[in-house]
């Protein structure tokens, strides 16, 4: 597992911007080569769709939204039943959704 994580991190270092933009037709979400690589390598296309749905619902509150992912420790996972915490903030670091 650790080896796969390191390989993905190393692979992501090669992406800086993108000349090709991909799109999820139903959601009209656009994403770059780097995100496509991450979704394929980590098998997490849900990451693009789930965050896109939430971010689109927050667009009326801010034009600029950042999405921060924090994987929880195993103890917290057992306690909360969640694997990660996702926090959406605006350009002024105001929390929009947690």
Domain that holds residue 67: 59-97
pLDDT digits (tens, 9 = 90+) for 27-65: 888 899 999 999 999 988 888 898 888 888 888 888 888
* Same domain (yes/no): 42, 63: no
Q: Are 27 and 69 found together in one domain?
A: no
- Does 94 score more than 90 pLDDT? no
| Total number of domains in the chain | 2
pLDDT tier for residue 1 given thresholds of 50, 70 and 90: low
Which two structure tokens, joined as six digits, stand for 65?
A: 């939204």
Residue 66 has pLDDT above 70, yes or no: yes
pLDDT of 34 reads 93
Summarize pLDDT for 79-90 with one digit per residue, the tens: 999 888 888 888
Q: Quick check: is 74 in a domain? A: yes
pTM of the model: 0.70
Query: Residue 54 domain-assigned?
Result: no
């Amino acid at each position: 597992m650790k080896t796969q994580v390191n390989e993905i991190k190393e692979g992501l270092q090669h992406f800086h911007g993108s000349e090709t933009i991909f799109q999820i037709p139903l959601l009209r979400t656009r994403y770059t080569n780097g995100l496509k690589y991450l979704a394929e390598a980590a098998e997490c296309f849900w990451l693009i769709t789930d965050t896109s749905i939430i971010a689109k619902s927050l667009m009326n509150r801010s034009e600029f939204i950042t999405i921060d992912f924090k994987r929880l420790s195993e103890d917290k996972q057992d306690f909360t039943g969640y694997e990660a915490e996702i926090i959406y903030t605006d350009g002024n670091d105001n929390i929009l959704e947690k």
